[in-house]
């Protein structure tokens, strides 16, 4: 595990495309992660931060975060298929929490799709709680939960 740098942008974008490919055509609206680009990720890393997990030189996981409100917003958590269920996502989320604690912010916030109960359960196991259900633009029903982990 190491800090992500803007030069990782293309590799992180490719990882996101691979990790989120199974949701294409199954989630509406289409996951934004599938539209990420290397330059877009690099720009996000300049404005915020991230962590990557590597194994034998292969990027196997990533997460991004940036300051938002009273804390950090965690986004674009991804683990390469075939590397899942090995604690990589837990370690990546832990890196965000550690950074938030180091920055002395009050909370970490994220969004998770309502149709992904395993993802919701994972974040709950990491101390996050849903605080609101919201709809993506153009949708007439809630499509995601806002979840928060308080650091107070």
Strand order in the sheet with 58-68: 2-3, 49-55, 58-68, 71-79, 107-113, 144-150, 129-134
Q: How far apart are CA 78 and CA 73, in angstroms?
A: 15
Q: How far apart are CA 116 and CA 122, in angstroms?
A: 10
Query: Average pLDDT of 6-26?
Result: 94
Instruction: Kindly report, residue by residue over 43-77, the tens digit of the pLDDT.
Output: 999 999 999 999 998 999 999 999 998 999 999 99
Q: How far apart are CA 61 and CA 77, in angstroms?
A: 8
Contact 143, 137 (CB under 8 A): no
Residue 140 belongs to what domain range?
Answer: 2-150
Helices (H), 21-128: 38-47, 88-102, 117-125
Specify the range with the lowest mean pLDDT, choosing from 3-12, 24-33, 85-94, 107-116. 24-33
Q: How far apart are CA 37 and CA 114, in angstroms?
A: 25
Report whether pLDDT(152) > 80: no
Phi, psi dihedral angles at 127 (to 5 degrees): 95, 10
For 152, counting Cβ atoms within 10 Å of its Cβ (0-12 exposed, 13-18 middle, 19+ buried), the class is exposed
Report whether pLDDT(25) > 90: no
Count of domains in the chain?
Answer: 1
pLDDT at residue number 86: 93
The pTM (predicted TM-score) of the whole model is 0.94
The CATH number linked to 126 is 3.40.630.30
DSSP tag of 31: P
DSSP-derived 3-state class of residue 22:
helix
The pair of structure tokens assigned to 134 is 């919201």
pLDDT at residue number 141: 94
Using only C-alpha atoms, the chain has a radius of gyration, in whole angstroms, of 15
Of 148, 147, 118, 115, whose CA–CA distance to 29 is shortest? 115
């Amino acid at each position: 595990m190491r800090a992500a740098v803007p030069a990782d942008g293309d590799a992180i974008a490719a990882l996101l495309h691979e990790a989120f490919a199974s949701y294409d055509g199954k989630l509406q609206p289409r996951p934004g992660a599938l539209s990420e680009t290397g330059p877009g990720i690099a720009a996000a890393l300049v404005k915020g931060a991230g962590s990557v997990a590597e194994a034998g030189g292969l990027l196997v996981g990533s997460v991004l975060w940036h300051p938002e409100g009273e804390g950090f917003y965690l986004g674009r958590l991804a683990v390469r298929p075939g590397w899942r269920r090995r604690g990589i996502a837990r370690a990546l989320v832990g890196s965000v929490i550690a950074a938030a604690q180091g920055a002395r912010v009050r909370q970490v916030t994220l969004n998770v799709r309502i149709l992904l109960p395993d993802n919701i359960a994972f974040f709950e196991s990491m101390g996050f709680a849903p605080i609101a259900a919201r709809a993506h633009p153009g949708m007439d029903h809630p499509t995601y939960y806002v979840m928060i982990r308080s650091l107070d």
